[in-house]
Amino acid sequence: MDFRHTMKGRRALSAVAITTGLLLTVAGCGGGDEGTSDKGAPSSSAPSKGSSRGGKQASQEPDSVTVLAEVKGENGLTLTVTSAKRDAGGFVTVEGSVTNNTDSIWVAADWRGDERELSKNGASIAGASLIDQKGKKKYLILRDTSGRCLCTQFTGGVQQGATAQWFAQFPAPPEGTADVDFQVGSMPPAPIQISQG
């Protein structure tokens, strides 16, 4: 049992390290005007702070963050999407929060996806997708060479009444496509609009 917990910890740390490296690379190569790069830096580092814990810092977030979509399902679980930005590297980063209003701890079991490769991601948002209704395309979450998703893992689950921040990265739809649906698990589709990062 200690070995399994050690491996989960190492996987979580590896995922955070890979994601942080990718985000720093994109932030460093972004260029652009000063206003964009200043605003981009805090939002790109936000997911790594609360990515693996069901922290209560999210209660401060709704005051300063625009909500793109909010859907409810699974006996009181609430999914909020706060950002969907197209990045220069050819991908889209979607961020938000999940609030556990159920009567027990929530472990995101059905959010990790059905693919065999995604089973290595444990309790995560690895099964999420972006759906382009007009273009009739479905964009699956990006993965590293080990098959780990570029997304949040909910290590230890989300406690009852708690809110956890999450992020997920996808291949970018064509430039003309901005309206997509964010889908994960048995949650209803969340219609969102992709903005330029």
Average pLDDT rounded to a whole number, residues 38-61: 42
List of residues 6+ apart from 96 with CB closer than 8 A: 68, 79, 80, 81, 82, 83, 165, 166, 167
Give residue 66's identity as a one-letter amino acid code.
Answer: T
On whether the CB atoms of residues 97 and 80 are closer than 8 A, the answer is yes
On whether the CB atoms of residues 77 and 106 are closer than 8 A, the answer is yes
Is pLDDT at 102 greater than 60 in this prediction?
yes
Q: Which residues of 130-158 are buried (b: 16+ CB within 10 A; e: fewer)?
A: bbbeeeeeebbbbbeeeebbbbbbbbebb
- Give the separation between CA 192 and CA 67, rounded to whole angstroms: 10
Query: Which backbone phi and psi does 98 adopt, to 5 degrees?
Result: -130, 130
**pLDDT, tens digit (0-9, with 9 covering 90-100), for 172-190:** 999 889 999 999 988 999 9
More confident residue, 108 or 10: 108
Give SS3 for 177. coil
Name the most confidently modeled range: 28-42, 114-128, 150-164. 150-164
Is pLDDT at 169 greater than 90 in this prediction?
yes
Stated pTM of the model:
0.65
Residue 157 confidence (pLDDT): 87
Is pLDDT at 24 greater than 90 in this prediction?
no
99: β partners? 78, 163
